[in-house]
């Protein structure tokens, strides 16, 4: 790829020492090399900060920021987005991993098609096994995303050239969905590169918290998105049904 624009990779950490090195290593092995990894620590009490400091000493593209108060993953991500220098903003949590060509293929997909917001397929995994592959729809709009968050946070990239810097709402859960909806107010659609380029860990505490977030949906629709009462009933009912069907596959 001749047009190698800078990609800012956003990673929040909180007591992530068990999986953190695996996640960082998959950034270091990317075939696309023009990136910066912006890691914000949300007041960890384990060795997470020490691990990042060791990597940062070896590679100047890795930058560590430490918050004075615990504000949740969305707040930590926003701190990294604020510091970001790249045209593209990508997301990787400290318990997930990328395949080596993730950035190269996805950035090329965006530049060739002039897409402002994209995502990819991904695979669930545990420490011992690779599990099911998640293949999202080829595109999604604001209205469609309201009914189902089909965009995996570990796969999402947006282009600040088209939508500017966009931040996550300061809530404890569903921050990613809130951000995607904000972006889709500016970009008419998000597009999927339907290739498995990332792996989503489901056997860490962080991922377990993600799945429990469905309980937060009603409050999210009413207070964060600002939907009316009857619209919330319609959207929440479909969202809950889809979540139930997915969990019982």
Residue 16 has pLDDT above 80, yes or no: yes
**pLDDT score of 210:** 47
Residue 248 has pLDDT above 80, yes or no: no
Mean pLDDT of the chain: 92
* Tens of pLDDT, residues 85-125: 999 999 999 999 999 999 999 999 999 999 999 999 999 99
State the CATH class of domain 7-212: alpha beta
Give the DSSP letter string of 44-93.
-SSSHHHHHHHHHHH-TTEEEEE-SS---HHHHHHHHHHH---SEEEE--
**pLDDT score of 219:** 84
- Give the Cβ contact number of residue 159 at 10 Å: 22
Please choose, from the candidates 103, 86, 216, 229, the residue with its C-alpha nearest in 3D space to the C-alpha of residue 156: 103
Please choose, from the candidates 182, 178, 175, the residue with its C-alpha nearest in 3D space to the C-alpha of residue 42: 175
Domain boundary assignment for the chain: 7-212
The pTM for the full model equals 0.92
What share of the chain has pLDDT > 90, as a percent?
Answer: 78
Residue 38 has pLDDT above 50, yes or no: yes
b/e code 29-59 from CB counts within 10 Å (16+ = b): ebebebbbbbbbbbebeeebbebbeebbeee
**pLDDT score of 214:** 61
* Tens of pLDDT, residues 187-242: 999 999 999 999 999 876 544 444 455 667 888 898 889 999 989 999 988 888 87
């Amino acid at each position: 790829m001749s047009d190698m624009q800078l990609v800012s990779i956003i990673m929040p950490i909180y007591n992530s020492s068990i999986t953190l090195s695996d996640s960082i290593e998959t950034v270091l092995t990317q075939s696309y090399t023009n990136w910066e990894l912006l890691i914000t620590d949300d007041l960890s009490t384990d060795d997470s900060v020490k691990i990042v400091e060791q990597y940062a000493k070896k590679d100047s593209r890795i930058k560590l920021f430490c918050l004075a108060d615990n504000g949740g993953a969305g707040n930590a991500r926003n701190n990294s987005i604020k510091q970001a220098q790249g045209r593209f903003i990508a997301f990787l949590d400290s318990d997930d991993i990328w395949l080596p060509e993730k950035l190269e293929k996805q950035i090329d997909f965006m530049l060739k098609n002039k897409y402002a917001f994209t995502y990819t397929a991904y695979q669930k995994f545990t420490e011992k096994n690779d599990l099911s592959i998640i293949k999202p729809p080829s595109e999604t709009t604001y209205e469609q995303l309201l009914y189902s968050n089909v965009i995996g946070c570990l796969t999402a990239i947006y282009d600040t050239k088209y939508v500017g810097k966009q931040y996550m709402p300061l809530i404890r859960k569903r921050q990613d969905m809130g951000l995607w909806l904000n972006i889709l107010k500016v970009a008419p659609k998000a597009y999927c590169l339907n290739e498995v380029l990332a792996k989503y860990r489901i056997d860490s505490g962080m991922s377990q918290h993600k799945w429990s977030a469905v309980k937060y949906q009603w409050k999210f629709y009413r207070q964060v998105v600002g939907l009316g009462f009857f619209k919330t009933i319609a959207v929440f009912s479909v969202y809950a049904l889809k979540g139930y069907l997915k969990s019982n596959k």
